Amino acid sequence: MNILLTGGAGYIGSHICYTLLDLGYSVSTIDNLSTGNKNLIPKEVNHINADISDVQTVTSLIKNNKFDVVIHLAAFTRVGESVKHPEKYFSNNFDKAKIFIDTCLNNGLKKFIFSSTGSVYGNLDSNINIKENEATNPINPYSKSKLKFENYLINETIKKKAFCTILRYFNVAGADLKKRTGLISNPDNLIKAVCEVAIKKRENLVINGNDYKTKDGTPIRDFIHILDLVDIHVIVAKSLIKTGENQIYNCGYGRGFSIMDVVSEMSSIIGYNLPIKFGERRKGDAVYSVADNSKFLKKFSWKPKYNNLKIILESALNWEKSLYQK
């Protein structure tokens, strides 16, 4: 299997690169390193330092390779930043992505996996796990840009007799167990912040709001280990090559943890109470965001390997420690 991947220098992309190589597959990645880190890309990966909207470079890459599947990850992903700079997010996550996909389709590529987000569903009133057929109602520019591109990709692949699978990620966390890659920086990422407090890089964890209508007043999230998420990509890529169909799948475990649950688990791991303080709610945050993943489980008889909050936090913490041992 030969994969064309955008965003290979990022958190999720670098994990996908390592796993694909571990499985004996070939990988080329386009990443302009605007938010990614070149050191996260395995040396065996063919890295092209370019923008995904660079038609000439993308065309040349496609013509010189025989790619089976395109995995499109490259995007800006920080909710808080998207609220402040919405035009930046629509330009990158939709306009440039549109140019990239058009270039791929115009050069004969037919099978695509798109990295979307569970936040396209918006802020639902009920504490019910979210199915793929739930109405979408994104509440911040980041998720709006993702949904806009979802719709474009689906329409274009149908018109061109191509196929795409949309993967709606919930809260991706954890790190490679061999500590080869992990999350370098993201001020919006809860698990990253928790780990930084645990190793005393930060003084305390600021929790944005403790007045939500949940068991302890903090938002509920569905945390999926990065390695299980990568496994989903591999399964979907193989399926696209074999059959080819347009699908949308939620990527989560179907179990929610509050922010305070995460704090409590990390406190247990490190042996003392993680220092916290409460701040104001963050605009654009949902109260309850937990996937109904039954569609994917039924389709592929999938069994996650790392569905455990302790494993997620320990792997993230080990990676964080390794950053300061290098």
User: Per DSSP, what are the bridge partners of residue 172?
Assistant: 224
CA-atom Rg of the chain in angstroms = 19
CA 189 to each of CA 62, 91, 322: distance values in angstroms, whole numbers, following the listed order: 34, 23, 18
What separation in angstroms does the CA of 83 have from each of 47, 79, 143, 186, 307? 31, 6, 10, 16, 31
CA terminus-to-terminus distance, the chain: 34
Q: How far apart are CA 79 and CA 91, in angstroms?
A: 15
Q: From the candidates 11, 18, 89, 142, which is the catalytic residue?
A: 142
Contact 123, 213 (CB under 8 A): no
Residue 17 backbone dihedrals phi, psi, to 5 degrees: -55, -50
Residue 151: CB atoms within 10 Å = 12
Active site residue 288: no
DSSP 8-state class, residue 3: E
CA distances from 295 to 18, 136, 154, 247 (A): 27, 17, 19, 10
- Name the residues annotated as catalytic: 142
